[in-house]
Amino acid sequence: MATEAPATGGTRRDRTRRVTLADVARAAGVSASTASLAVNGAGPVAPATRERVLSAARSLGYSGPNPLARSLRRGRCGVVAVVLGERLAYAFSDPMMVGMLDGLADEVGTAGSSLLLVPLSGPTGAAERLAALPMDAAVVDDCDAATVDLIPALHARGVVVVGVDGPQGSGIPVVDLDDEAATTALFAHLADLGHTRFGVITLPLALDTVGGPLVPADPATRERLAKGAGVQRRRTLAAEEAAARHGVSVRFVEAARNLVDEGERAAATLLDGPLPESPLPGCPRPAGDARPTAIIAQSDVLALGCLRAAGTRGLRVPEDLSVAGFDGVDLHLFDGTTLTTIEQPASEKGRTAARLVAAALSGQQPDDVRLTTRLRVGTTTGPAPGR
């Protein structure tokens, strides 16, 4: 076998050199270019030659073209990054995110690419990690102001960037929902049922928030809303507007995380009245008029926590308290309860993002896509008490 590489004494990182396409070509007695064509099945190659190359590859144990070299040459590597604000366990605890990722992975996979997960909460700087990773495109999910700043650097590298749920107007195509219309529909539904005191549990405005009461009119809060992700902002501002239009009162509480427990905690703040955060133990608050009769949570996960808080306090749903969510997830409620919620096409959101990526990669400049949601009335909303 004349497959010995010349003993150049060059760089050798590993003990054993991998067998390369050049080795195969040499063994088959053809040029590297022909070997490449044969292995890739592209281009005109005589059947006999092809067979010779293939058998040489087999007998040498050639493991196919080196992905890095091929990608470098081709300018495409078949990787689509997903930029997540949180660590994986939190991202995956959100059924909407999971649905989105599933749709994204499916559609991206059909196009022959795979998903690279890039959580921005790692120990090292997020920007460096993102810049050093091979990728054709990046999908940023619901990103805040800090993440938006990473987009130009990606564009400079020629990476296609697509947004999910935001950021609108940042020069990247975005797929999002009609959050305003959905929020409006929820208020209309509950106002029609006679509710006049509303509570809203918002999604966390930032990654490191501790949650708590929120006054959208407050300048500091407006600032935080502006810097946060788009979903929270749109749903919260739409809620304020809808409440004003219906002439009903509304109080906002921010959840520290999109988790059931945090939904419960936020609901407690609403249900136990506008008093100091830590009530004295054994001292139930006569919430009276201040207690909302309808609570809208900005996610089903939070709504679930809200249901739990109601149960703990002996409040019947929907007789004493109406609860609505947002997402339309099947959350395995055991007792036949079905949550009133906004159904959003989570998986379709991912699919659409993948299509935007594909379009942008093929040189087009796709437009934003807005998906529509639907109000699904369940058993957790009913007429306001005393009506």
Partner DNA sequence: CGATTCGATCGAATCGTTTCGACCGCAGTC
Partner DNA sequence: GACTGCGGTCGAAACGATTCGATCGAATCG
Where do contacts with DNA occur on this chain (CB under 7 A)? 8, 10-12, 17-18, 20-22, 29-34, 36-37, 39-40, 42-50, 64-66, 69-70, 72-75
Q: Of 46 and 215, which has the nearer Cβ to DNA?
A: 46
Q: Provide the minimum distance between the beta carbon of 277 and DNA in the complex, in angstroms, as a whole number.
A: 51
DSSP 3-state assignment of 33? Answer: helix
Q: Of 70 and 227, which has the nearer Cβ to DNA?
A: 70
Classify burial at 74, counting beta carbons within 10 Å of its beta carbon; exposed 0-12, middle 13-18, buried 19 or more: exposed
Q: Of 7 and 89, which has the nearer Cβ to DNA?
A: 7
Out of DNA, its own copies, none, what residue 115 binds, judged by CB under 5 to 8 A for its kind, is its own copies
Q: Provide the minimum distance between the beta carbon of 156 and DNA in the complex, in angstroms, as a whole number.
A: 11
Which residue shows structure tokens 């309808």? Answer: 294
8 A C-beta contact, residue 346 and residue 99: yes
Residues within the interface to its own copies (CB under 8 A): 13-14, 18, 61, 63-72, 75, 77-79, 87-89, 92-93, 98-99, 101-102, 105-106, 109-110, 112, 114-119, 122-124, 129, 131-135, 153, 156-158, 260, 304, 307-308, 311, 332, 334, 347
Out of its own copies, DNA, none, what residue 364 binds, judged by CB under 5 to 8 A for its kind, is none
Q: Provide the minimum distance between the beta carbon of 355 and its own copies in the complex, in angstroms, as a whole number.
A: 16
For residues 295 and 307, give the distance between their C-alpha atoms in angstroms, rounded to a whole number: 10
Out of DNA, its own copies, none, what residue 226 binds, judged by CB under 5 to 8 A for its kind, is none
Out of its own copies, DNA, none, what residue 29 binds, judged by CB under 5 to 8 A for its kind, is DNA
Out of DNA, its own copies, none, what residue 124 binds, judged by CB under 5 to 8 A for its kind, is its own copies
Structure tokens at 126: 């997020």
Out of its own copies, DNA, none, what residue 123 binds, judged by CB under 5 to 8 A for its kind, is its own copies
Phi–psi pair at 216, nearest 5 degrees: -55, -30
Structure tokens at 305: 């926590």
Residues listed for the chain: 387
For residues 207 and 384, give the distance between their C-alpha atoms in angstroms, rounded to a whole number: 35
Q: Of 194 and 378, which has the nearer Cβ to its own copies?
A: 378
Q: Of 72 and 275, which has the nearer Cβ to DNA?
A: 72
Q: Provide the minimum distance between the beta carbon of 63 and its own copies in the complex, in angstroms, as a whole number.
A: 4
Max CA-CA distance within the chain?
Answer: 93
| Strands annotated E in the chain | 79-84, 114-119, 137-141, 160-164, 174-177, 197-202, 212-214, 249-254, 294-297, 322-324, 341-343, 369-371, 374-376
As beta bridge partners, residue 81 has: 116, 138
DSSP state of 290: G
Q: Provide the minimum distance between the beta carbon of 357 and its own copies in the complex, in angstroms, as a whole number.
A: 15
